[in-house]
Structure 1
Amino acid sequence: MNVYRIGQLAELANVSRRTIDYYTQLGMLNYEKTGSRYRYYTEDALNRLQMINRYKEQNMPLTEIKERLQVLSETTVDSEQVLLMVDKLSTDLRGLENELLELKPLLEQLDEQQLTYAAQQLSVRGSSLLSILAMLA
């Protein structure tokens, strides 16, 4: 497993050292300390930082992000429950696809500025969803 010093982690996650310190103080990131004075962060910390960034892109408050991270840490894996959740998510996605198809005629009536705004909103959320799905795969 890879371990990173704070500077390396900051560079990989494209955040500042100060941000990592802040998230560590909030209990959102954990580190290991060896005999030296350096803090070492694992691959898990990098993954958590990437998740935090995705949640922040969705304008989620840090308190909610912290709660989600805690739930992920405390959750034990029940494969049957995971499969049920995947089935539900698949059903939800099909529903969203149908809603988008219903929206298509309405989108065609928007002016250029409104259409650009709608596309930006969908793009941010869609790319966040794709990133999460990629992490899960």
Structure 2
Amino acid sequence: MAERAKVTKRKIDYYTKLGLLNAERSNSNYRFYDHSSIKRIKFIENRQKAGLTLNEIKNELAEKYSEEIDLLELRLKMNELNRDVSVFLASLENAEVKKCGEIKKKISQESLSLIQKLLLLFT
């Protein structure tokens, strides 16, 4: 990993100790890093070159991770909404004609269009 990231093993150990990198441990206590660790090391190195401290970089990484989680949650909610809309539209097709008209009035075409565009954006 150190060779691929073009840093020393000591530096990887240090980043891991500071919590900048995450490693899984084997039964024989070897560290295993995922593929995103190399990108993370390069990010750390670039931010250090830009003059940030390791503590500032750690905060940036925490914010970035938080944003990724927020985006994932938004995608999950959008998928749930899409399923709800699909079920709702299917029930409209099976409902009585009078009830369909009343329900369709409550949901604007713009709302349905917005939902579809958001789904396309996040998928």
Pairwise TM-score range, normalised by the shorter structure: 0.5 to 0.7
SS at match of 1:42: coil
SS at match of 2:36: helix
Report the TM-score when normalising by structure 2.
Answer: 0.53
Cα-Cα RMSD: 1.5
Q: Which runs of 5+ in 1 are unaligned?
A: 1-8, 80-137
CA distance in 1, matches of 2:51, 2:28: 37
1:49 lines up with 2:41 in the alignment = yes
CA distance in 1, matches of 2:18, 2:29: 20
State the partner residue of 1:19: 11
State the Cα distance separating 1:28 from its structure 2 match: 0.5
Q: Count residues with an aligned counterpart.
A: 71
CA distance in 2, matches of 1:33, 1:62: 24
SS at match of 2:46: helix
State the partner residue of 2:32: 40
Q: Which runs of 5+ in 2 are unaligned?
A: 76-123
CA distance in 2, matches of 1:74, 1:34: 27
- Larger radius of gyration between Structure 1 and Structure 2: 2
State the partner residue of 1:64: 56
CA distance in 1, matches of 2:29, 2:7: 22
Paired letter, 1:68: E
State the Cα distance separating 1:41 from its structure 2 match: 0.5
State the Cα distance separating 1:20 from its structure 2 match: 0.7
CA distance in 2, matches of 1:46, 1:35: 23
SS at match of 2:20: coil
Instruction: State, as a whole percentage, how many aligned pairs show the same letter.
Output: 37
State the partner residue of 2:79: none
Report the TM-score when normalising by structure 1.
Answer: 0.48
